[in-house]
Amino acid sequence: RKEVEQDPGPFNVPEGATVAFNCTYSNSASQSFFWYRQDCRKEPKLLMSVYSSGNEDGRFTAQLNRASQYISLLIRDSKLSDSATYLCVVNPSGGKIIFGKGTRLHILP
Amino acid sequence: NAGVTQTPKFRVLKTGQSMTLLCAQDMNHEYMYWYRQDPGMGLRLIHYSVGEGTTAKGEVPDGYNVSRLKKQNFLLGLESAAPSQTSVYFCASSYEDTIYFGEGSWLTVV
């Protein structure tokens, strides 16, 4: 099992729809989890951290399921500007942050 | 408000040439990283450092060397460039688990 796995997509979603994707991780001792967003030919940027109790930031909701070792990202009322690649990030501690390969999202007008 | 700065942004090398990518951060972060990103491969960790004077191998270290002589700088060296090293290179630093990236360096080896 790879350390961090994501469905590469692409997810093609009409504007205004809700979309969700998951990320699984293999190291049960992992401590910290994040979602990053990367636009074409740009550097990744932090979208949100993922907390054990789940957390929300506007239209974005992140959740962690430690028992099943996955995190999820839900985007409500999707906008054209949400089109990007979303990277799952896991920090198992010790300095070696692990990135998933990313899920591509295309919001269709 | 510089954050993480990479130089150069673009470079074309001939096979066998050497070069160094420089990463500088002004946030006093202990941890620094070098990643490469290729289509369909995602970000792959080359080397990282947990503090001044320390370095460690990541997922794909072969063909690269690094140095962290000063806390604010993390250098990535290619001793003998190969076409397989054509990629986008991202430097990053982190504090309390949040990682900050530079804008990337586009390297082409012909």
Chain A neighbors of B99, CB-CB under 8 A? 34, 36, 46, 89, 97
Start-to-end CA distance of chain B, whole Å, equals 35
Contacts of B97 in chain A (CB under 8 A): 31-32, 34, 49, 91, 97
Query: In the prediction, which pLDDT does A91 show?
Result: 82
Which pLDDT score is estimated for B87?
97
- The answer to whether A105 touches A10, Cβ cutoff 8 Å, is yes
In 3D space, the residue among A53, A59, A47, A42 whose CA is nearest the CA of residue A89 turns out to be A47
Count A/B contacts: CB-CB distance under 8 Å.
Answer: 51
pLDDT along chain B (110 residues), means of 10: 90 97 96 92 91 94 97 97 97 87 96
Query: What does the alpha-carbon distance between residue A16 and residue A22 come to, in Å, rounded to a whole number?
Result: 20
Whether the Cβ atoms of residue B10 and residue B106 lie closer than 8 Å to each other = yes
Query: For the ranges A39-43, A60-64, B61-65, which has the lowest average pLDDT?
Result: A39-43
The predicted-structure confidence for A74-105, as pLDDT tens digits, reads as follows 999 999 999 999 999 998 665 577 889 999 99
